[in-house]
Structures are given as C-alpha cells and as structure tokens.
Amino acid sequence: MSTLALLSIAGGSIALLLVLIIRLQVHAFVALMLVSLLVALATNIPVAEIIPTLIAGMGGTLGSVAILVALGAMLGRMIEVSGGANTLAQRFTQILGPRRVPAALTAAALVLSIPVFFDVGFIILIPIIYGFCKAAGVNPVKYGLPVAGIMLATHVVVPPHPGIVGGAAVLSADVGWITLIGLATCIPLAFLAQYVGGKLNRRDYVMQPDAEAQFRKFGTDASTPSTSNKLPSVAAVLTLILAPLALIMLGTTGATLLPKGDSLRNLMSFTGAPVFALMVAIGLAFVLLVRPLGWTRTRTNEVMESALPAAATVILVTGAGGVFAKVLTVSGIGTALSQALAGTGLPLILLGFVIALALRAAQGSATVAILTTCGLLAESINGGGYSALQVAILTVAIGFGGLGLSHVNDSGFWIVTRYLGLSVADGLRSWTVLTTILGLAGFLLTWLIWVLAS
C-alpha cells in the first residue's frame, strides 16, 4: 500500500474516532476497538492476524498498566477513606498557603517523576491532588494538569525512563550528558507547565459524571473522631507515598551503577519494580492506617474493593488505546509517516524532533516514537562526526518530540482525562495543548543548547 494511502487511512481513523466519541458520544472503549478493527481491515492486515493483533495490543498495554492502576487505586482509596489525604492537604495548605500549593505540587512532581514512570507517579499522586483540590474548593484539573504535564516531560527526556534510555543505546549517546541536559530543560518547563496550566484553567471544565461522583465522594466517608480514635498522621501518609518511590529509585540506582549479573543489582531490580513497590506500600497501609484506625477485615476489604470500579474503566480504555496504537504500528502507518518526513531536507536536530512528534501523534507511544526515530536517524547521527555532547543533545531533542500531541491513541491521555474528569473534547483542549507546548518549548531549549555547544 502506498505511503499516501496509509497516511490517509491514519488521518481518517483519528477523525472517525473523534466523531464517534465527541459527536456521537460512543463510549471510548467501544469506539477505540471499532476504529482499530476498521483500520486493520483498511490497511490489508491479513484477516487471520487481525484478532491476534488486537489481543496483542490489549495485552501488551494491560500487562504494564492493569496491575499498577489497580494497586495504585487501592492505595489511594485507603489513604482517602482513612482521612489521610485530607489531613495532608490541610497541613500543607496551612504551611504553604493556598496560593503556593499548586507550585509546590508541580515541583514535587518534577522530583518524584525522575525515577518513577509517568502513569505510576500520577496514579500515586491522584489522592493527594484530590485532597488539595477538595481543601481549596477547586476542580482537580486546576492542580492536576500542570502536575501531569511536568511528570510526562521528565518521563520522555530524563533517564532511566525507557524511551530515552533505549534511544541513547541506539545512538551510543552518553547517558550522563542526557541526564544533565534533560534536567536542565525540565526545570524551566516546570514553571512553564504551571503558567500554561493556569492559562488553560481559565476555562471552566465540566467534570464527567463518573469522575465528578468520585471526586464529590472523596473524603466524605473518611474516618472521623466519632468512628476512630485518631486520623492518620502526616508522617504516615507521606511514608505511604514516598516508600514505593524510594524502592523504585533504589532499583533504578542499582541498574545504573551495578554491572549486569550482579546479585545485589538483581535484588534491587526486584524490590524496585513498581508492582512490588506498590505491594509494599499497601502492606505498610495495613500497619499505618488499618491497625491504628481499628478497621475490621471486612471494612478493609470493602475499602479496597471500592477502588476497583473506577479503576476498571481507566484500565479498559487504556487497553483499548493500546490496541489502536498496535494496529497503527503493525499496519505500517508509522513507518510510512517517518519515511515521508525523512526526505524533507530539514536540519538533523529539527528532523529528529519532527519525526518523533509525528510518530507520537500517529501511534500514541512516546517510547515507540523515540526509539523508532533514533533507529531511523542512527546512521546519519553516528556517521556525522558529532561530539558526545552533540549526540546527547540530538537524543534529547528526539525525546521532546515524543512529548507533544498526546491524544486519543495515547494511554496517558486516558489516564489523565479519566482521573481529572475531562471529556475527550476538553482533554484535547487542555492536555493535548499543554503537552504540545511543553514539547515545543523543550525542543527550543534543547536547540539553544545545541547552538551554544556548536
């Protein structure tokens, strides 16, 4: 099939998806599955391979998302119902003042997202975002949007996240330089995320019914002095949040500093796996929340199970987004798009950014976009006589291409919009705009470093 035909199918599929969800109000899960099937048929994927491709897309996404979302939702629910989120929100609001809370949350998100994958960190912070927003009486998108934006920016350009680390391996780039450049660019982006988030939040977003009900109920069934001797301490709540992050950070440190095959590295990798870290946090919740509050086993199970209905919707929609991305990849649409852009004659640093951005828009995954772009440009970069610093700069520029244009084929889009209660249309107006602005700004900062280093 010709490149023009593949690109036309890609554009048509995204347009159809938006019409189904926004105009016809078809459930996102159903719309994603239907359009994925139509794209597979239109691009002549063999009939015998279509269903296995759909299943592979769902399984590949849910394998990394389902367990994390479920465990993170349970942990967040326990913190919420115990009154811990409200306690933390009120204490920080007292200390910082209401006006400084959003900036403090964004700064904390920048630090926490360095060792932690975007979806894990955001899910862990959701109850805290809800708690602060309840205390301030504002929509959760007010605080959640800039927090999610800077977390995703860090995810795409700062090691040890998979896309940028894999891209560094493909281009033989120095991870140390990439880390320094990535952090140097993400710090000003944190301020930009806060500023742009504030501008975008001048618009009033109507929360979707499920999220609105969840947010309205948040903290209303929390333990009170009448049902418990005391509420959780701030230290207990912070321990539950920071303990899994610390384990993940230790696992990352071991993988970076210790040689392959080292027994200590293997142990740290196991204990630093996000799934294990969240399981440890839930175990700690039994010690720091359940026992002090005197919850019975039945009450504890009810609290944990009450987190799953909302999590199930996020999991299914996220999985369907993975199906759509898988079909776009298998069909050859992503390859056709990148090859078309490669012949434009753009400067190498701009070409890398544009190809990664286009691939990100076409198939959804930032990691796939970064790795694919690095593979396409590896020969040009490795044979161009560039210094180690310049190769690192080029790699970061490609990483920022994977940041922008997060939309309906990106699992992160669904996680952010579902938890913040945004409709698809509002998600495109806010989250997609924010990620694109941050991606463009990050690239411009990287290009400035390129000019200064040349």
3-class secondary structure per residue, 228-252: CCCCCCHHHHHHHHHHHHHHHHHHH
In terms of pLDDT, which residue wins out, 42 or 258?
A: 42
In terms of pLDDT, which residue wins out, 80 or 286?
A: 286
User: Domain count of the chain?
Assistant: 1
In terms of pLDDT, which residue wins out, 245 or 55?
A: 55
227 band by pLDDT with thresholds 50, 70 and 90 = very low
Question: By the 8 A CB rule, do 405 and 120 touch?
Answer: no
Determine the Cα–Cα distance for residues 77 and 130; give it in Å rounded to an integer.
11
Count CB atoms within 10 A of the CB of residue 227. 13
Determine the Cα–Cα distance for residues 423 and 375; give it in Å rounded to an integer.
36
439 band by pLDDT with thresholds 50, 70 and 90 = very high
Instruction: Read off the pLDDT of residues 394-435 as tens digits, 9 standing for 90 and up.
Output: 999 999 999 999 988 888 898 899 889 999 899 999 999 999
Question: By the 8 A CB rule, do 413 and 394 touch?
Answer: no
Phi-psi region of 219 (alpha: psi -120 to 50; beta: other; left: phi over 0): left
153 band by pLDDT with thresholds 50, 70 and 90 = very high
With tokens 């992160």, the residue in question is 412
Q: Which DSSP letter does residue 116 get? A: S
CA dist 307 to 56, 122, 295, 303, Å?
A: 27, 16, 17, 7
Count CB atoms within 10 A of the CB of residue 273. 14
pTM: 0.69
Residue positions counted in the chain: 454
For range 313-317, the mean pLDDT: 72
Question: By the 8 A CB rule, do 251 and 269 touch?
Answer: yes
342 band by pLDDT with thresholds 50, 70 and 90 = low
In terms of pLDDT, which residue wins out, 264 or 73?
A: 264
Question: By the 8 A CB rule, do 416 and 148 touch?
Answer: yes
Mean pLDDT over all residues of the chain? 83
Biggest distance spanned by C-alpha atoms of the chain: 71
With tokens 């610390």, the residue in question is 246
Is residue 309 predicted with pLDDT exceeding 80?
no
From the list 29, 418, 391, the residue with the least C-alpha distance to 181 is 391
Determine the Cα–Cα distance for residues 174 and 165; give it in Å rounded to an integer.
10
Q: Kindly report which listed range (131-145, 210-224, 238-252) carries the lowest average pLDDT score.
A: 210-224
- Cis amide linkage into residue 292, ω under 30° from 0: no
Per-residue confidence (pLDDT) for residue 224, from 0 to 100: 45
Determine the Cα–Cα distance for residues 128 and 427; give it in Å rounded to an integer.
21
In terms of pLDDT, which residue wins out, 454 or 297?
A: 297
Instruction: Read off the pLDDT of residues 346-377 as tens digits, 9 standing for 90 and up.
Output: 888 998 999 889 888 877 778 778 877 887 78
Burial 386-404 (b: 16+ CB within 10 A, else e): beebbbbbbbbbbbbbbbb
In terms of pLDDT, which residue wins out, 90 or 423?
A: 423
Determine the Cα–Cα distance for residues 200 and 191; give it in Å rounded to an integer.
14
For range 304-320, the mean pLDDT: 75
Range of the domain at 135: 3-453
Per-residue confidence (pLDDT) for residue 283, from 0 to 100: 92
For range 240-254, the mean pLDDT: 79
Per-residue confidence (pLDDT) for residue 192, from 0 to 100: 96
DSSP per residue, 282-327: HHHHIIIIIHHHT--HHHHHHHHHHTHHHHHHHHHHHHHHHHHHHH
Percent with pLDDT over 70 in the chain: 89
Determine the Cα–Cα distance for residues 376 and 367; give it in Å rounded to an integer.
14
Is residue 190 predicted with pLDDT exceeding 80?
yes
Q: Which DSSP letter does residue 24 get? A: S
Q: Which of 68-77, 262-271, 357-366 ranks highest by mean pLDDT? A: 262-271
Per-residue confidence (pLDDT) for residue 337, from 0 to 100: 65
Per-residue confidence (pLDDT) for residue 318, from 0 to 100: 67
Q: Which of 82-86, 112-116, 187-191 ranks highest by mean pLDDT? A: 187-191
Residue 385, classed as helix, strand or coil, is coil
- Cis amide linkage into residue 347, ω under 30° from 0: no
Determine the Cα–Cα distance for residues 365 and 412; give it in Å rounded to an integer.
9
